[in-house]
Amino acid sequence: MHQLWLIPALPLAGFLVNGIFGRKLSKPAVNAVAIGSVLLSFLWVVKTLLALGPLESAYTESYFTWIQSGIVNVGFDLAVDRLAAVMLLVVTGIGLLIHIYAIGYMSHEGGYYRFFAYLNLFMFFMLILVMAANFLLLFVGWEGVGLCSYLLIGFYFLKKSAGDAGKKAFVVNRIGDFGFSLAIFLTLVTFGSLDFGEVSAKAATMSPETTAGVVTGICLLLLVGATGKSAQVPLYVWLPDAMEGPTPVSALIHAATMVTAGVYMVARAAPLFNLAPIALDVVAFVGLITAVLAATIGLAQNDIKKVFAYSTVSQLGYMFLALGAGAYSAGIFHVMTHAFFKALLFLGAGSVIHALEGEQDLRRMGGLRSKIPVTFLVLMCAAVAIAGVPPFSGFKSKDEILLAVHAYSPWMFWVGVVTAGMTAFYVFRAIFLCFFGTYRGKAHPHESPLVMTLPLGVLALLSLGGGYINVPQYLAPVFGQPNVDHDMTLVAISVGAGLAGIFLAWLFYVVKPELPEALARTFSAPYKLIYNKYYVDEAYDALVVHPLRDGSRSVLWRGIDAGLIDGAVNGTGALARSIGAGLRTMQSGYIRRYAAWVVLGSIVVVAMVTFLGGAR
């Protein structure tokens, strides 16, 4: 036994301590509990992985039966294989850095202990998600991270927009979870188990004819779940709004870890997806659409966090594209490198925001290069990494993906290359707008404290050099050797696209800053379209939210409930009353009228006896 349970349990303990007693604890004590628990968890991960050695097959620990009834028999089982190992290191490692960073970032905020309690709870659920040995436990983590995301987006709960964004995230995720849960039910009915190992073993032995339809169904439903959590078309709308949360949250949950849960889940279910080529095609297609759509929106956003948020959506699209192309290991590789550089981008942005006392609008930044040099430096590292400049980490993983996609479908490769160019453009646009030119704001920028810059430095190193961790090779036993031809021409093309994007951004925002304005005027219709994010939110509101709410109110509640059903119920009552009221007039209270009724009655009775012969 390697006591795997300790890995999630430590952050859980941190959550409980800070959640219950945090109000009475001093800030250093809260820090010690929150960061200490994550640090211990990280160390335990490292120790366990070292102890487990090469980890050729999954290592499972079963603790207790969670639910048992009928065909349901789900245990509280944790497992580690190479896939989980990569994710564990990323989650605890990046999580630790971001926890440390948050000490500085959140130092002036109210609800300090609450923030760290939520972060620890998030770590707990994320680790459960990663180490789950069956679909249901994965779902536990899945829902749990959604909950923490909800709580942390709505952290500034005095702001209505924050509450709205949190609720939107939870509800949209719930729509995805709807698909995921149906997939779980269907899996259990089909395979009689929810264990990853058992399901893939059974799936492999069942004849393709019997499984094809239902497995495709399961995979598509899983994909619905993944589109919710990983912000893919059509459920990506919550992620940009999620930037209402504090920046460390954006970095940890909405860039580095939680949003990649969908990718992880699809990779986990790879044995099923491999049996359902149609589902894989859909995955690739969804990924591609998302990548392009989000990249175009990202071109025109002015909020620095929104730019990076759309960039995240776009990069997640890339990962799905990789999954769809069957290059699971490339997808997971990109999950890791993306975690490095996107966390860095967000934390760097947070450092900028911190320096500018809350300013997030790129139009009121500029010329910060000299004022906050460390931040500038680390953001440049992240930017070159995400733009795919060789030999940094983004280049490595993106190349892996694009090459696999070329083998899968050449036209998708070309779309991917264009998207890579756009990615480089909008990231450098943000960098140039922020750090070059002249300062356009009013605040007094100051460099962030060491507790913030230190994690930035570590992440910068990882962003630059993280590509040399050969994840695809390490994951080969899980997914098989990736089918990629390392064609140097293709590599050159994708690198060229990235460099072109950087050059254009430089041209537009450093050399000729008046050019973008002019372009926006010339192409005002398409510019407006992407500036307003294709009006997708408005469309959802008009097509789904309002009809549902107004229909429920006026048709279901006022119409059917109060009108029809209660009308019938009260109508029955009213009918009984009116009959009673009619009969009541007989009982006037006047004795002589009663006597008259008696007389009338006797006359009727006598008449009946006489004429109808009732007596006989």
Partner 1 sequence: MPSEFPIPLPNLPLPDAVPLSWYLILSAILFTLGVAGFLFRRNIITVFMSIELMLNAVNLSFVAFSYHLKSVDGHIFSFFVMVIAAAEAAVGLAIILTVFRNRQTLEIDEVSSLKL
Partner 2 sequence: MNLLDWLLLIPAAGFFVTLLLPRNNPGLVRNFTLGVSLIVFLMSLGLIGPVMENPGAFDREVNVVWIDTPMIRYHIGVDGLSLWLVILSTLLTPICILVSWSYIQKRVNEFYAFMLLLLVGVVGVFVSLDLFLFYVFWEVSLVPMYFLIGIWGHEKRIYAAVKFFLYTMAGSVLMLAAIIYLYNKTGTFDLPLLMNMIATGRLAMSPAEGFWLFLAFFFAFAIKVPLFPLHTWLPDAHGEAPTAGSVMLASVMLKLGTYGIVRVCLPLFPDAARDNAPWIIGLAIAGIIYGALVAMVQPNMKRLVAYSSVSHLGFVILGVFSFTQAGIDGAVYQMLNHGISTGALFILVGYLYERHHTLEIADYGGVGTVAPWLTTVFVITTLASVGLPLLNNFVGEFLVLQGAMQVSFSYAFFAAIGVVLSAVYMLWMVQRTFYGETPEPVRKHVTDLNGREWAIMIPLVVLMVWMGIGTKNFLPPITANNQKTLEMVLQPGGALNATAAPLVKESAHAR
Binding site for partner 1 (CB under 8 A): 587-592, 595-596, 599
Picking from 476, 481, 483, the residue whose alpha carbon sits closest to that of residue 81 is: 476
Element (H, E) at 588: none
548 binds partner 2 (CB under 8 A): yes
For tokens 């991960």, what's the residue? 45
> Helix 373-386 vs helix 328-355: angle between axes, to the nearest 10 degrees?
160
Cis peptide before 391 (omega within 30 of 0): yes
- Say which amino acid occupies 461: L
- Say which amino acid occupies 34: A
- The token pair that represents 236 in the structure block: 């990506």
Q: Which of 143, 241, 359, 399 binds partner 2 (CB under 8 A)?
A: 143
Q: 595 is in the binding site of which of partner 2, partner 1, none (Cβ under 5 to 8 A by kind)?
A: partner 1
164 binds partner 2 (CB under 8 A): yes
Q: Determine the Cα–Cα distance for residues 548 and 542; give it in Å rounded to an integer.
A: 10
Q: By the 8 A CB rule, do 507 and 515 touch?
A: yes
Q: Determine the Cα–Cα distance for residues 343 and 459; give it in Å rounded to an integer.
A: 8
Q: By the 8 A CB rule, do 99 and 257 touch?
A: no
Q: Determine the Cα–Cα distance for residues 408 and 402; give it in Å rounded to an integer.
A: 10
Q: 171 is in the binding site of which of partner 1, partner 2, none (Cβ under 5 to 8 A by kind)?
A: partner 2
Q: Which of 178, 439, 503, 540 binds partner 2 (CB under 8 A)?
A: 178
- The token pair that represents 459 in the structure block: 């992440």
- Binding segment for partner 2 (CB under 8 A), chosen from 159-167, 288-296, 390-398, 462-470, is 159-167
Q: By the 8 A CB rule, do 419 and 346 touch?
A: no
- In the complex, the smallest distance separating the C-beta of residue 593 from partner 1, rounded to whole angstroms, is 9
Q: Determine the Cα–Cα distance for residues 267 and 130; give it in Å rounded to an integer.
A: 11
- Binding segment for partner 2 (CB under 8 A), chosen from 163-171, 387-395, 402-410, 582-590, is 163-171
- In the complex, the smallest distance separating the C-beta of residue 589 from partner 2, rounded to whole angstroms, is 25
Q: By the 8 A CB rule, do 142 and 229 touch?
A: yes
Q: Which of 468, 523, 534, 557 binds partner 2 (CB under 8 A)?
A: 557
Q: Which is nearer to partner 2, 168 or 334 (CB)?
A: 168
Q: Which is nearer to partner 2, 230 or 312 (CB)?
A: 230
Q: 581 is in the binding site of which of partner 1, partner 2, none (Cβ under 5 to 8 A by kind)?
A: none
8 binds partner 2 (CB under 8 A): no
Q: Which is nearer to partner 1, 542 or 596 (CB)?
A: 596
Q: By the 8 A CB rule, do 121 and 11 touch?
A: yes
- In the complex, the smallest distance separating the C-beta of residue 538 from partner 2, rounded to whole angstroms, is 19
Q: 177 is in the binding site of which of partner 1, partner 2, none (Cβ under 5 to 8 A by kind)?
A: partner 2
Cis peptide before 234 (omega within 30 of 0): yes
Q: Which of 3, 157, 210, 483 binds partner 2 (CB under 8 A)?
A: 157
Q: Determine the Cα–Cα distance for residues 253 and 232; give it in Å rounded to an integer.
A: 16
- In the complex, the smallest distance separating the C-beta of residue 446 from partner 2, rounded to whole angstroms, is 30
- Binding segment for partner 2 (CB under 8 A), chosen from 334-342, 391-399, 463-471, 560-568, is 560-568
Q: By the 8 A CB rule, do 344 and 431 touch?
A: no
Q: How far is CA 235 from CA 416, 512, 537, in A?
A: 21, 37, 10
- In the complex, the smallest distance separating the C-beta of residue 561 from partner 1, rounded to whole angstroms, is 36
- In the complex, the smallest distance separating the C-beta of residue 592 from partner 1, rounded to whole angstroms, is 6
In degrees, to the nearest 5, what angle opens at C-alpha 114 toward C-alphas 110 and 117?
145
Q: 103 is in the binding site of which of partner 2, partner 1, none (Cβ under 5 to 8 A by kind)?
A: none
177 binds partner 2 (CB under 8 A): yes
Picking from 183, 277, 285, the residue whose alpha carbon sits closest to that of residue 232 is: 285
φ and ψ at 193, to 5 degrees? -160, 160
Q: 185 is in the binding site of which of partner 1, partner 2, none (Cβ under 5 to 8 A by kind)?
A: partner 2
- In the complex, the smallest distance separating the C-beta of residue 589 from partner 1, rounded to whole angstroms, is 3
Stretch 50-69: interaction string toward partner 2, x if CB under 8 A: ------------x-xxxxxx
Q: 73 is in the binding site of which of partner 1, partner 2, none (Cβ under 5 to 8 A by kind)?
A: partner 2
- In the complex, the smallest distance separating the C-beta of residue 572 from partner 2, rounded to whole angstroms, is 9
Q: 588 is in the binding site of which of partner 2, partner 1, none (Cβ under 5 to 8 A by kind)?
A: partner 1
Q: Which is nearer to partner 2, 174 or 364 (CB)?
A: 174
Q: Which of 2, 167, 202, 371 binds partner 2 (CB under 8 A)?
A: 167
Q: Determine the Cα–Cα distance for residues 557 and 400; give it in Å rounded to an integer.
A: 55
Q: 561 is in the binding site of which of partner 2, partner 1, none (Cβ under 5 to 8 A by kind)?
A: partner 2
Q: 592 is in the binding site of which of partner 2, partner 1, none (Cβ under 5 to 8 A by kind)?
A: partner 1
Q: By the 8 A CB rule, do 142 and 259 touch?
A: no
Q: 535 is in the binding site of which of partner 2, partner 1, none (Cβ under 5 to 8 A by kind)?
A: none
In total, the chain counts a number of residues equal to 616
193 binds partner 2 (CB under 8 A): yes
How many H-runs (helices) and E-runs (strands) does the chain carry?
Answer: 27, 2
- In the complex, the smallest distance separating the C-beta of residue 73 from partner 2, rounded to whole angstroms, is 5
Q: Residue 187 contacts by C-beta under 8 Å, 6 or more apart in sequence?
A: 135, 194, 199, 218, 272
71 binds partner 2 (CB under 8 A): yes
Q: Which of 18, 181, 247, 296 binds partner 2 (CB under 8 A)?
A: 181
φ and ψ at 532, to 5 degrees? -90, 20
Q: Determine the Cα–Cα distance for residues 74 and 64; give it in Å rounded to an integer.
A: 9
Q: Determine the Cα–Cα distance for residues 443 and 446; give it in Å rounded to an integer.
A: 9
Q: Which is nearer to partner 1, 481 or 587 (CB)?
A: 587
Q: 591 is in the binding site of which of partner 2, partner 1, none (Cβ under 5 to 8 A by kind)?
A: partner 1
Interacting residue ranges for partner 2, rule: CB under 8 A:
23, 62, 64-73, 75, 136, 139-140, 143-144, 147, 150, 154, 157-160, 162-164, 166-167, 170-171, 174-175, 177-178, 181-182, 185-186, 188-189, 192-193, 548-549, 551-553, 556-557, 560-561, 565-566, 569, 573
